[in-house]
Amino acid sequence: MAAKDSPSNSDRGSSLDPSAEEIRRWGNAAIKAMADYHGSIRERRLYPQTTAHQIRERLERALPAEGSDFETVLATFQDAIVDLSRHNAHPRMFGYVQAPGAAIAAFADLLASMLNANLTAWRSAPAAVELERLTINWITKMLGYDRNSAGLFVSGGSTANLAALAAARRAKASEELLSKGVRSLPQEMRVYVSEETHHSVAKAAALLGIGRENVRIVRVDERFKIRIDDLVAKIDEDLKAGHLPFCVVANAGTVMTGAVDPLAEMSGIAQQFNLWMHVDACYGGFAAMAKSVRPLFHSIDKADSVALDPHKWLYLPVDCGCILYRAPETARATFAHEAEYTRVIAQEAEEAFAFWDYGPELSRRFRALKVWMLLKSVGVRTLSKAIEKDLACARHFEQLVQASDDFEMLAPVELSIFCFRHLPVRMKQALASANENTRRQVNEELDSMNERLLVELQRDGSSYLSNALIHGRFALRGCVMNYRTTSHDMEILLNDLRRVARRLKVKVSV
Ligand SMILES: *Cc1c(COP(=O)(O)O)cnc(C)c1O
């Protein structure tokens, strides 16, 4: 092991430009750490019992004037970072919409950084750009999207939704929008979303100068899907008031309950009112590969744009979002610009291709490599099976809850998200009371009890859930998105909840 001040090291400029031998040594140490990590993931405490202070204590805080050897740096990574992290690859990590991070992608990320390809345009990274175009094409096939569509990888779903809204607005406004800004618009432009739509859409509207107040919130039905009657009513209302309806956003899997909006009906409405239809499929999109839910995605090919997150249900590590456009020239009209320093000089059309014409970013890392390596090494059949198993796990949990006498479901399971709460028998009886005041009081107690149960479960470290608000009530919420999760894990989750609930001293006043 080379000491940090050994002559050989300092002579050669230390770690900045390591020899091939040194790279091999670092690699072996890092790969061993990775193999140990994946090998022991199931046994790990899912969430660390730690504080900000404790983490800081484990990190040397001073800006390093001199370097340290790789082993020392790797040891700090293990002690301070790995040991004090939430382990997203754990089979009972059910919080938020969290992928495990397939191991193959760690190699792809390593090799992508090795090549340091910058995917601005074809001439900057010929092979990498071709690989991204191929991979995007594969994704359109997996989804059943239009054959002439195109798109690109972006940092995540939020950026994908932003790009879609920008393209939608440009498509329905005059060209002046890009030169003169929103003051060139004769009318307020309005976009329609359901109550369950991800907040990144409203954020995109705010950033683009559309304005949050021009995001019309449409009501949902009892299955948390957008209500077509309310959608049409809001469009009519806006037309009468002289506004310009320009876009409707459909959910293909909401983050709260996993609801998929009626895509065929929505595309009909979009056509009728000349609206751009965008589908936010960041959570649910890849479930289109699973036979049991495929019909839900029928008509997704009619959408003008689709936002996806391969860093969710393709099990990849962050970051990797994706935006697809049915007619790529609409995106080009939005994002292309004529600055001299990016002008492509006299090349054939294919080689003149530039990703900067289709999205907001210029420098872009080689995200396609991990998508390509995953698809090449795993294959679509295995991925579809893994997604099908995630769906089955969520349904199994729903059945467990329905068969129990101390839990209840708060929303139907559509994909792999389940929303439920702990409902002890004595409180269930009180809920059946005829007195509305009593029921309200019990519901409030259930809210606070379930909230404490969630915090205790997270601290406990065996299973991890997050929360949702369902009809104004606090819900425990889980999302199965991990090829390691089995139906047995769903049983463990319920047992963990019961074990933790016994520890809580629940005060019941009724
Ligand atoms: C995750 C998610 C987003 C945001 O995506 P990021 O990758 O976190 O930026 C948007 N919409 C839905 C439905 C999502 O699940």
Choose the final residue of a domain: 354, 378, 402.
Answer: 378
**Cα separation values, 376 from 131, 258, 295, 310, 383, Å:** 12, 29, 26, 15, 11
CA distance 32 to 37: 8
Statement: residue 166 has pLDDT above 90 = yes
Lowest mean pLDDT among 9-13, 55-59, 296-300, 502-506: 9-13
Statement: residue 509 has pLDDT above 70 = no
Atom number of ligand 1 nearest to Cα 283: 15
**Co-location of 362 and 387 in the same domain:** no
User: Which structure tokens are listed for 401?
Assistant: 């809850």
Cβ–ligand 1 contact at 261 (below 6 Å): no
Range of the domain at 28: 20-46+48-85
- On whether residue 10 sits in a domain, the answer given is no
Q: How confident is the model at residue 507 (pLDDT cuts 50, 70, 90)?
A: low
Atom number of ligand 1 nearest to Cα 309: 7
Task: Look at residue 470 and give its three-state secondary structure.
Answer: strand
Most informative mutation of 153, 162, 165, 200 for ligand 1 (most atoms within 8 A of CB) = 200
- On whether residue 509 sits in a domain, the answer given is no
**Ligand 1 geometric centre to CA of 159 (Å):** 9
CA distance 343 to 357: 11
**pLDDT, tens digit (0-9, with 9 covering 90-100), for 181-223:** 888 888 999 999 999 999 999 999 999 999 999 999 999 999 9
**pLDDT, tens digit (0-9, with 9 covering 90-100), for 256-279:** 999 999 999 999 999 999 999 999
Closest C-alpha among 60, 77, 70 to residue 16: 70
Cβ–ligand 1 contact at 468 (below 6 Å): no
User: What is the layout of strands, in order, in the sheet containing 466-470?
Assistant: 407-409, 417-422, 473-479, 466-470
**Co-location of 397 and 426 in the same domain:** yes
- On whether residue 93 sits in a domain, the answer given is no
User: Which structure tokens are listed for 410?
Assistant: 């708060």
**Co-location of 402 and 374 in the same domain:** no
CA distance 229 to 247: 17
Task: Look at residue 107 and give its three-state secondary structure.
Answer: helix
**Ligand 1 geometric centre to CA of 39 (Å):** 29
CA angle in degrees (0–180, nearest 5) for 126-129-131? 110
**Co-location of 367 and 401 in the same domain:** no
**Co-location of 389 and 370 in the same domain:** no
**Ligand 1 geometric centre to CA of 257 (Å):** 14
In this predicted structure, what is the pLDDT of residue 182?
83
User: Which structure tokens are listed for 381?
Assistant: 């059949």
**Co-location of 445 and 348 in the same domain:** no
- On whether residue 90 sits in a domain, the answer given is no
The count of domains in the chain is 3
The runs of H, that is alpha helices, within 2-87 are: 7-11, 20-39, 52-58, 70-76
Average pLDDT of the chain is 93
Q: Which residue has the tokens 């299973």?
A: 463
Give the H/E segment covering residue 6: none
Question: The domain that contains 201 carries what CATH number?
Answer: 3.40.640.10
| Average pLDDT of the residues in 303-309 | 98
- On whether residue 8 sits in a domain, the answer given is no
287 burial (CB, 10 Å; 0-12 / 13-18 / 19+) is: buried
Helix/strand number for the chain, H first, E second: 18, 11
Cβ–ligand 1 contact at 309 (below 6 Å): yes
- On whether residue 15 sits in a domain, the answer given is no
| Average pLDDT of the residues in 4-11 | 47
**Co-location of 272 and 313 in the same domain:** yes
Choose the final residue of a domain: 378, 399, 429.
Answer: 378
**Co-location of 126 and 65 in the same domain:** no
- 187 against 477, higher pLDDT: 477
* pTM of this prediction exceeds 0.85: yes
In this predicted structure, what is the pLDDT of residue 186?
84
- On whether residue 1 sits in a domain, the answer given is no
| Average pLDDT of the residues in 322-351 | 79
Q: How confident is the model at residue 60 (pLDDT cuts 50, 70, 90)?
A: confident
**Co-location of 386 and 373 in the same domain:** no
Question: The domain that contains 32 carries what CATH number?
Answer: 1.20.1340
